[in-house]
Amino acid sequence: MTLRLVTVFGGSGSIGRQVVQRLASQGVRVRVAVRDPLKAAFLKPLGDLGQIALLKVNVADEAAVARAVDNADGVVNLVGILAESGRRTFQALHVDAAERIARLSAAAGVRRLVHVSALGADDAAAARYARSKAAGEAAVRQHVPAATILRPSVVFGPHDGFFNLFGSFTRFSPVLPYYVKDGVRPRSGQAGADGPRFQPVYVGDVAEAVSRALTTAEHLGKTYELGGPRAYSMREVMALVADQTERRVRPVPVPMWVARMQARVMGLLPKPLLTTDQVKLLEVDNVLTGALPGLEAMGIEPTAVETVLPQYMTRFRPHHRHVVLRAPRRS
């Protein structure tokens, strides 16, 4: 399918900027629906003059969403949050906004809709985040049965909030704590001893999956789980961070009950690092189930963490690691 205009909701995030750039490189006009166009101005140079348009949109506003999808060939919904704040709740953004975007896209005659959800979306999950993601998927399917739904695991890349977060910790802490099931087991490798497992997926692979879902008919109406080539325990993630930052930090296991206590305090902050709902997410693995097709089914070879991490984790290395010593010049 040839695309002329694609509207991307939430296009200024770490995934969004990659999606916008990928579409622009294919000659597509991109309309980026964001809360603050000024803060999203960095997207404009990713395309040719006039190719990328920024539109101020509140996803709770029916008229604003309708304007955003008007005359679009495709729509991509990347709107999502990890923690609630004020009116920005899971229900409002993961469910109500998803329903609104899908319903108004269908009314506008949009031919392709790609909805980016999350791995672990489940209406029976303990975490409200995961339940809201599942409810959002159901709302999308109700209005656009042919929508393509993508469920990525933790997404990594230059602007991620995962490896970059832990990398920043190495600047001031000699340890990298990771949470394990209640009680610290002395030997690594035992069930739960190394923390929950993740299957990080490269942001470029996610952007390519979005692009192919928009242009290839075989992906219509399907749900895909997106993950990298292998899974890592939280201990292995911390070891990767320590290795790539070249700092003398040590991964240290912390019982999950400590996480629950910390979350009660951190959850009160304006931008909490940890909430009680996120702790519930950490109590289960976030890896591909194998029950749904993945990147390979879309013709995409998953990118390994080790091939990309060195490209952006160097920013957390001690300054002297970047100094090139030269022999003094002789007169």
**Residue pLDDT, tens place only, 182-210:** 655 545 555 457 999 999 999 999 999 99
What pLDDT sits at residue 83? 92
Q: Give me the phi and psi of 194, to 5 degrees please.
A: -105, 15
Instruction: Give me the mean pLDDT over the 287-305 stretch.
Output: 97
User: Collapsing DSSP states into helix, strand and coil, what is residue 104?
Assistant: helix
Asked if pLDDT for residue 324 goes beyond 80, the answer is no
Instruction: Give me the mean pLDDT over the 33-57 stretch.
Output: 96
Average pLDDT, the chain: 92
CA distance linking residue 29 with residue 306, whole number of Å: 34
CB-based contact 169:152 (threshold 8 Å): no
Pick the CATH number of 5-316 from 3.40.718.10, 3.40.50.280, 3.40.50.2300, 3.40.50.720: 3.40.50.720
What pLDDT sits at residue 319? 72
Q: What is the pTM of this model?
A: 0.92
